[in-house]
Structure 1
Amino acid sequence: MSWDDIQPLLVQACQDTLFMVGWSALIAVLGGLPLGVLLVLTDRGGLVQNATVNKGIGVIVNIGRSVPFIILMVALIPFTRFVVGTSIGAEAAIVPLAVGAIPFFARLVETSVREVDGGLVEAVQAMGGSTWTVVRKVLLPESLPSLVSGLTTTVVALIGYSAMAGAVGAGGLGSLAVTYGYMRFDTGVMLITLAVLVAVVSAVQLIGDLAVRALAGRSRSQTI
């Protein structure tokens, strides 16, 4: 294939990939952030200690993380059809991508929130702060650099998952690589697609690292 033939396909594939990753990352944050915070709050010694709730959330998160994405995608086909009306295409891929990313991000959130200095939590409680105040004023702001780093990791993982989803009809760069590269034995298309994926991942990682450094620097200046 010539570059003139590849270019429009590549542009559309990039748009599909960004569409899938963007929406699934947003849903992962909306679902994973509260789950991760709850895992910390309901744990032993937490602000709202509840062993039953903690174990229940932990089991759900662990199951979600342990299922390989390709199996998850197939298992969710009926649910995907119920939600978006189809099981193929970029919109359909958002469902399994989001379902797979929520528990992944939840564990990263849990790790980030656990790193917050307990002395700050105790200080807010001593001043009469409620659990919601502790979460809003201490846990989330103090763990923000680590949360952004976790989100960056999640987005990078989603890019890889989206390529896998593309190989089975979801569109995007994975579909381009399989349909026009692998099946047609066109090494050029494969290499171009691979280069674009590497560039996208590198850009996401760079932006995430810059954001983490900026947030960490601002946090240190406020502490001083």
Structure 2
Amino acid sequence: MTWSEVLELLNLGAQETGWMVGVSALLTAVGGLLVGVLLVLTARGGLLPAPPVNAVLGLIVNVGRSLPFIILLVAVIPFTRAVVGTTIGTDAAIVPLTIGAIPFFARIVESALREVPADVVAAATAMGATRRQIVGKVLLREALPALVAGLTITVIALVGYSAMAGVVGGGGLGDLAIRYGYQRFETEVMIATVVALVVFVQLVQMVGDLLVRRLSHR
């Protein structure tokens, strides 16, 4: 295989990986943020204390985090088929990627929100702020740098998950490495794929670190 062919395959694989990671990261950011906020609000001493709800939600999150992604890929095949109509390809891979990442990011959100000083929340409450205002203008705003850092970690984890999705025909760089680098013994494709994944992760980390620094010094 010539290097021009390898580059063509890498270009396609990178586009598919970018699509999978981008869409699943967006869905994870929304879903994980909602779940993380609910975990904080419904905890004992929270703004909306509901220990039974918190316990059930925490159990679901813990179960989701404990499942190895490769097992999750197979376990949600019926749900994936029901959602996108197929279990193969980049669109199908987005479903398990999102399901696997939401619990991970939810715990990061919960941890970040708990780090907001209690006196800041108390001051906002004393000034008559509503629960919605406290969540949006106090908790989330104060924790924003930590949330962005956590999302960066989550996106990098999604890159790794997307590579594993190649095992079941999920497309992207992982699928390229398996089909050409492993099954066809194309060593140059395997090496190029590894390099591409490393570059992808480095770019994500650099952008995330830049955003965190800017948010921390605003």
Shorter-chain TM-score category? over 0.9
Equivalent position of 1:145 in the other structure: 145
> Which SS does the other structure have where 1:13 is aligned?
helix
For 1:13 and 1:166, how far apart are their aligned partners in 2? 10
The one-character-per-residue Cα deviations of 1:143-193 (angstroms, maximum 9, x if unpaired) are: 000000000000000000000001220110001111111111121111110
For 1:8 and 1:194, how far apart are their aligned partners in 2? 15
> Which SS does the other structure have where 1:35 is aligned?
helix
Structure 2 residues not aligned, in runs of 5+: none
For 2:81 and 2:182, how far apart are their aligned partners in 1? 28
For 1:113 and 1:170, how far apart are their aligned partners in 2? 34
Residues matched between the structures, number? 218
User: What's the TM-score, normalizing by structure 2?
Assistant: 0.99
> Which SS does the other structure have where 2:184 is aligned?
coil
Equivalent position of 1:44 in the other structure: 44
Q: Percent identity?
A: 60
Structure 1 residues not aligned, in runs of 5+: 219-224
1:28-107 correspondence to structure 2 within 5 Å: 28-107=28-107
Matched, 1:113 2:113: yes
> Which SS does the other structure have where 2:185 is aligned?
coil
Equivalent position of 1:158 in the other structure: 158
The one-character-per-residue Cα deviations of 1:22-64 (angstroms, maximum 9, x if unpaired) are: 0101111111101101111111111111101110110110010
Equivalent position of 1:178 in the other structure: 178
User: What's the TM-score, normalizing by structure 1?
Assistant: 0.96
The one-letter code of the counterpart of 2:52 is T
For 1:211 and 1:4, how far apart are their aligned partners in 2? 35
Displaced runs of 4 or more, over 4 A: none
Equivalent position of 1:169 in the other structure: 169
Shift of 1:205: 0.4
1:192-203 correspondence to structure 2 within 5 Å: 192-203=192-203
> Which SS does the other structure have where 1:129 is aligned?
coil
> Which SS does the other structure have where 1:170 is aligned?
coil
Shift of 1:8: 1.5
For 2:16 and 2:134, how far apart are their aligned partners in 1? 39
For 1:131 and 1:35, how far apart are their aligned partners in 2? 16
Shift of 1:82: 0.4
For 2:135 and 2:25, how far apart are their aligned partners in 1? 22
> Which SS does the other structure have where 2:14 is aligned?
helix
The one-letter code of the counterpart of 1:120 is V
